[in-house]
Structure 1
């Protein structure tokens, strides 16, 4: 019997890329795809016959960590692997807390992705090696708590990061921001990842709210 996999990702090109990676393996079938957590939960509500979800983190309406927590609460039998470009400690910690069974980076090769899916379905916990190392370090040294004064001193955004954050605050998608700033969408994503890391947040909404609170934008 084929494993039924759902792909939750706000970038349709990346959805296509993941589907192509999995097309090499006869034991995999795609149950559905969705562009955000709200759409994911809506589709699961209509038909929850899914064995495993590959979940992005940064998405509109409901991010991947929030969607993971909600999906695990309502459908605990469904395994979830975070599949993302974000490998900072805060995201890893929150993903594990939310109930994710694995954490992979989007550049994972087809065979490694397939092996991770099978390993997770069999009760394992699949992680990209670099993520596994970060997870061990988190267990050895939990994230420190900072007070507001310390955060104010350490948050230093570059001028380009500030521009990206200002554009994000208007609700523009990565493609539009890239066009406005004359850079590629992947460059915008990299700047966004740096912003999240510096602000210690895991969603666009949190980043904007904190930046406004700290008067960074």
Structure 2
């Protein structure tokens, strides 16, 4: 781990377990006056230790973070660091472009996602975009994947809405009937359900008869099977 004095506009950290790649990136970035490398680390744990050792005024604004690293990977490091330093930005710089890694990085709090084959000038531009414009820079290939993921969200929402419609439309159980059904699933008898809901066992029996009718079943076991298969409770 190497600490370097911050001298320029945007203090930056580099986290990568490949020494040659880390040093090459450091050397290439050193030609740009827009940024200054204040910290280098070989994995997520090393990075977090390095942050603690820095004076708050010397901490990086942007971290160029690799994903696959020993000890602690980049996604875990970002998740922890965002809780400790919420104003810090993380630009994932990696060879991975698969959906899972992209989604995990975004959930962890990444501000951008570039592939390692990006030109150094583009990396510098991305750093400035994050800090000065609040942008979310991505390599074109990554951006296409991100858009594909976003397109899947409405489909999932529609599927959930359709399932809800099935519950409300086909079965149309009332709030009280859902309460009683949930207690049937819990294994309570009519007397116990009545005591919990402050209604008579006779009223419970009438509600359960309506539940059976709406669910198109004839007994408690079948009603519970429908409720559990639909994951209502």
TM-score interval, smaller chain: 0.5 to 0.7
Q: Which residue pairs with 2:66 in the alignment?
A: 56
Give the distance between the partners of 2:44 and 2:115, measured in 1 at CA.
19
Give the match for residue 47 of structure 2: 40
Specify the alignment match of 1:88 in structure 2: 98
Q: Post-superposition, which runs of at least 4 consecutive aligned residues in structure 1 deviate over 2 A?
A: none
CA distance in 2: counterparts of 1:58 and 1:71, whole angstroms: 17
With structure 2 as the length reference, what TM-score do the two structures score? Answer: 0.60
Compute the displacement of 1:141 (Å). 1.7
1:14 corresponds to which residue?
Answer: 21
Q: CA deviation at 1:69?
A: 0.5
1:105 aligns with 2:112: no
Structure 1 unaligned regions, length at least 5: 145-217
State the SS of the aligned residue for 1:141.
Answer: helix
Q: Paired residue for 2:129, among 112, 116, 119?
A: 119
List runs of 5+ in structure 2 lacking aligned partners.
1-7, 157-233
How many residues align? The count is: 144
Distance 2:112 2:149 in 1: 15
Q: Which of 66, 86, 90 is the aligned partner of 1:76? A: 86
More helix by share: 2
Task: Indicate the structure (1 or 2) with the bigger Cα radius of gyration.
Answer: 2
TM-score, normalised relative to structure 1: 0.64
RCO comparison, higher one (Cα < 8 Å, 6+): 1
- Per-residue deviation, 1:21: 2.3
Q: Distance in 2 between matches of 1:17 and 1:120?
A: 22
